[in-house]
Chains A and B, each alone.
Chain A
Amino acid sequence: MNADLLQSLGVTLLLAAVTTLILLLVAPPLAWWLARTRHRSRPFFEALVALPLVLPPTVLGFYLLLAMAGDGALGALWTMLTGHSLAFTFTGLVVGSVIYSLPFVSQPLTTSFRNTDGMLLDAATLLGTSPVARFFRLVLPLHRRALIAAAVLGFAHTLGEFGIVLMIGGNIPGETRVLSILLFDQVETLNYAVAHTTALILLSMSLAALTLTYSTLGRNP
């Protein structure tokens, strides 16, 4: 296999894995809050989380690029903390991917969490379980299918990211050049053989991920 292709595949899988791990920490509490809260601000936060679903990735990428620039808020903070710039790095890509893929993990979880049987939560409370313990000991195990499905969906979605990577990642081999960017490059240089392989890898990984998602969600409890 082409060395460029292997390298991009490595970057892509690592990016998707790291992004999914971070999302698995961030999304469940957020989704639980969105599913349970009656606070007036809920619709606003739901919209904010869902924004990447409707926004062109280049728009999100543009604002992230501004934020990550040396004089942007995020970029300046990051440079102060680490001494490096955030834009055009793998870490920068992770930040962008987490934001971009958040709704794909958070929304299925919110939907699933909304169906939590209140009787079971009451039962756990009556057995002396605190709200935090209830979340870990009851809610997460009850919704483990949705968690798996959401994680796979987040992973698959990150694999296919293009617009944001283009804006904030650039095209640095071994650092930020993911498969979708490589595919674009290969087509531009009329290298259709590698383009074919790249496209086929992306296609089969996505199909496998979605098949896994639907089989997990469809199984009887």
Chain B
Amino acid sequence: MSLLVSGKIERSSGYNLKLDLELPNHGVTAIVGASGSGKTTLLRAIAGLDFTPELSVSLDGISWQDQSVCMPAHLRPVSMVQQHAGLFPHLTVLGNLQFPKRRRDGYALDMEQAIERFSLSSLLHRKPASLSGGEQQRVALARALLAPARLWLLDEPLSSLDVLARRELAPLLASLCQELGQPVLYVTHALHEVLQIADYIVVLEDGRAVAAGNPDEVGRQIDHPISAEIDVGGILACEFDSFDPEHNLSRLNLGSEVLYVRGDLASLGPRIRLQIPARAISIARSDTDQSSMLNRLPVTISEIGEASSGSVLITLDCAGQTLFARITSLSAERLDLRSGLAVFASIKSVALDARND
């Protein structure tokens, strides 16, 4: 049983989305793609907000829409948080929280829990216009959780927030996603936002799913892990070792190798996933030369892509995990890189930052 989405969406503007996805009906599914890749179109279609007659959607064998049926959006058991909070301006915060129609089945949180989890008690009698962006989004999330649903749709819920508000809300959102016990579709252009909690990742590009799978395998599926705007790169599974407060670095183990990442990542748990964009990796033939780069991993070149616009994509095997490096084709020639060659991949430490933008 799962969430099935298949068919196509065509817009008069020429934009079209063509998909055949079978998504797990539990855990967090990250849908990653650059703007214009069709992420929001997909979520709106699942929620039933737009008329998309050529798309079939079903959850656990119950069809929400196909050639013959179309369940109205307000009857679909989904709850969705969008980029913009969408709070009702004529109601107070409390009025907004009380807006969802009570459905027969239970809901994720009750009112008191929602107010407490999102620290809303001091805001209850204020109007949305007087709230900051972060506060508005907290109200929107609480309100969505008060509307019972069997599927939670998050459409870039943090993207309209400033960095501070995002840092505050991201961990709360992450823990809620895991606690809910409902499937969550989390759409974002910033994979790191959802990387630690994602159980399944779908990469969208130009209306097509170019990769779909578990975090460990998705990197290997992508033919071209970078489009013009998004650089998914490789995803490494590491273990948290220790935090060095003096240098503000976390030490992570990757097999017998060690990686250093800025900041204290202890709260992320013993297993940490790192997304390493292809543009953040450089390649060296030896590890003798001095460099400011802290992280230098022995890797084997498994594939060298076609050169295009002066750069080339190199697929690297790192103790069984896959990394990608995008370097100039001139460097590739000068270093005489070939398949099977053992080299060193240097990773800018900033690129490893799992939580900060």
Contact = CB atoms under 8 A, between A and B. Distances in A.
Contacts of A137: 99
- For the residues of A in contact with B, the DSSP-based class is helix
Contact of B90 (A125, A127, A128, A141): A141
Interface residues on A, range: 10 to 19
A144 B147 CA distance: 26
A28 to B, nearest CB: 16
B86 A119 contact: yes
B90 A126 contact: no
B103 interface: yes
Point out which of A126, A127, A128, A130 has the most chain B C-beta atoms below 10 A from its C-beta: A126
B8 to A, nearest CB: 22
B301 interface: no
Contacts of B88: 120, 123-124, 138, 142
Given A128-B147, A133-B101, A141-B90, A119 B73 contact: no
Contacts of A221: 89
A113 to B, nearest CB: 15
Q: Which of A128, A138, A144 has the most CB of B within 10 A?
A: A128
Classify chain B: how many residues form its interface, as a range.
Answer: 20 to 34
B147 A123 contact: no
B49 interface: yes
B146 to A, nearest CB: 8
A125 B49 contact: yes
Contacts of A130: 72, 74
A129 B87 CA distance: 14
22 contacts: A119-B82, A120-B88, A122-B86, A123-B87, A124-B88, A124-B99, A125-B73, A125-B74, A126-B47, A126-B79, A126-B80, A127-B79, A127-B101, A128-B74, A128-B100, A128-B103, A130-B74, A131-B74, A133-B101, A138-B88, A142-B88, A142-B90
Interface of B: 47, 49, 72-75, 78-80, 82, 84, 86-91, 99-101, 103, 140, 143-144, 147
Given A123-B88, A124-B88, A126-B74, 17 more contacts: A119-B82, A119-B84, A120-B88, A124-B99, A125-B73, A126-B78, A126-B80, A127-B79, A128-B100, A128-B101, A129-B74, A129-B99, A129-B101, A137-B99, A138-B88, A141-B90, A141-B91
